[in-house]
Each structure stands twice: as C-alpha cells, then as structure tokens.
Amino acid sequence: MIYLIMGVSGSGKTTLGELLASRLGCRFDDADTFHSQANKDKMAKGIALTDEDRWPWLDAIHDAMQQAQAEGTTRVFACSALKKVYRDRLLSGLEGVRLLFLKGSPELLAERIGSRRGHFFDPKLLQSQLDTLEAPDHLEAQVLDVRKSPEQLVDEVLASGHGA
C-alpha cells in the first residue's frame, strides 16, 4: 500500500507521514528531499516555483512511488500536490494509492509555519500555495482536519478500513 499525504506547507504532512510510517512499520519519504537545490534556493528567497520547476520533482516522486509499488512494499510519501494535474502526474499508472488531504484554516497554517525553525520554505509563500490549491473532494482523498492531533489523524486513517 502506498500512502500519499498532501496539503499546503504547515499542514503537518511530515509529522503525519513519520507517525503513520512508524505505526505501519514502513519507510517515509518527504517530497522536500526530491527537490533540486535550485528549487530549494528559489523557495528560500520567497520565489514561488513554476510548473516547469515542479515537473522533474513530481516525476522523481512518482518514480519512487512506482518502485515501492513494484516491490510490493508499504510506503508513506508526503507531497504538497496542490493541483489536480500534479496529483494526476504523481498517480499516473499507479493503482490503490491512498490519498490523504490535510485541510486547515489559513490562520492555523500561518501560525504553524511561523513557529518552524530551519525550514527552507519562506512563510510569505503560504498565500501562493493556498491560491494554487485545488482541494480534492472526499471521493478523491480522505480529508483530514489538521486541528486534530497527529495521533488522532493516524487513528482515523487506519480505522477507515483501507489500512495496509
């Protein structure tokens, strides 16, 4: 089973991904590790990425998901996947991927981003991400409320009947 956790910066993708992977006893991969240094440098300067910047990044994540699926391993990935076209590219040719959408208010997300230290994402980019977000509905993804604790969210995911 492949899990893909999506949402804007500050929604808790990494925290949830690490906890879910720990509970499942599998590997976790954060999409940030797939970014080129040029992309990281752009975001650190408060410059939003273009789709041209994103395509190689999304393809690298897709390839890792495809490899995990081919190996038959359970694996958790976290990626913003803000637009439907990005999710389509990530999920192309893959079956049975569980998409988990972390949803929260702009105020809560801004507060979380403001309290982070040592992350390359410039907090000024949050509004750009919110403007770009094409939120999936409950038919495309399991929608999770980020006001709940990470432990509660993992329990929700595992209790939804689609666990590994």
How many folded domains does the chain comprise? 1
Which range, 35-39, 43-47, 108-112, 115-119, is most confident?
A: 35-39
Residue 99 near residue 65, CB atoms below 8 Å: no
CA angle in degrees (0–180, nearest 5) for 25-40-31 = 25
Angle between helices 37-44 and 51-71 (to 10 degrees): 130
Predicted TM-score (pTM) of the model is 0.86
Residue 16 lies inside a defined structural domain of this protein: yes
Q: Name the percent of the chain in helix, strand, coil, to the closest 5.
A: 50, 15, 35
The CATH number linked to 62 is 3.40.50.300
Reading phi first (left if > 0) and then psi (alpha if -120 to 50, else beta), residue 101 is in beta
- Please check whether residue 164 lies inside any domain of the structure: no
pLDDT in tens, 108-156: 787 766 655 554 455 566 777 888 889 998 888 999 999 999 999 999 9
Q: Which domain holds residue 117?
A: 2-159
For 124, residues 6+ apart whose C-beta sits below 8 A from its C-beta are 46
Q: Please give the helix or strand (H or E) that residue 19 lies within, else none.
A: helix 13-24
